[in-house]
Amino acid sequence: MNADLRTVSICTGIGGLELGIKTVAKTRTVMYVENELTAIQILVKRMEEGNLEVAPIWSDLKTFRGTDLHGRVDLLVGGFPCQPFSTAGKRKGAEDERNLWPEVRRIAEELGHPTLFLENVNSITEYYYHTIRPELQEMGYRTTEGLFSAREVGLP
């Protein structure tokens, strides 16, 4: 692959997904969206060190608009918040105000339906199969999913 895949990273955290994807694809992140100050500080440090591409950081997923990048992004990547679905939380699912799936969908539409690489917890499975997957398919996406343990990807 010679050309960089232009990427928008949402719910970026400290850039772990972006670093992982770089091991298998040539990407160029053009925008990060992250609201946690500590994570933003780490992202800036990783950019300064040359480990992540220098790109703007938008601090609120709900106000980010992909329309300015419509058709110019190849990949939307993110691990949107798991708290609404996590077994460690209140398990409010779709009713939890932290459920950002509707925002992820909106951004994918605004960007012009780039390839998606999304990550979340195992306990989102029911919501995924009843809501996310059907909505993606309605948008014209062909879906592939997997459930991987930390051990399977080489972590303790």
Residue 41 vs residues 19, 37, 68: alpha-carbon distances, Å: 16, 6, 25
**pLDDT tens for each residue of 101-122:** 999 999 999 999 999 999 887 7
Q: What percent of the chain has pLDDT over 70?
A: 88
Of these residues, 76, 77, 82, 111, which one is catalytic? Answer: 82
Strands, E assignment, 1-153: 5-10, 27-33, 57-58, 75-78, 115-118
- Other residues' Cβ atoms within 10 Å of the Cβ of residue 76: 23
pLDDT of 1 strictly over 80 = no
Q: Does residue 86 register a pLDDT over 70?
A: no
Q: Cα angle at 26 between 23 and 32, to 5 degrees?
A: 90
Residue 155: CB atoms within 10 A of its CB come to 8
* pTM higher than 0.85: yes
Active-site annotation holds for 11: no
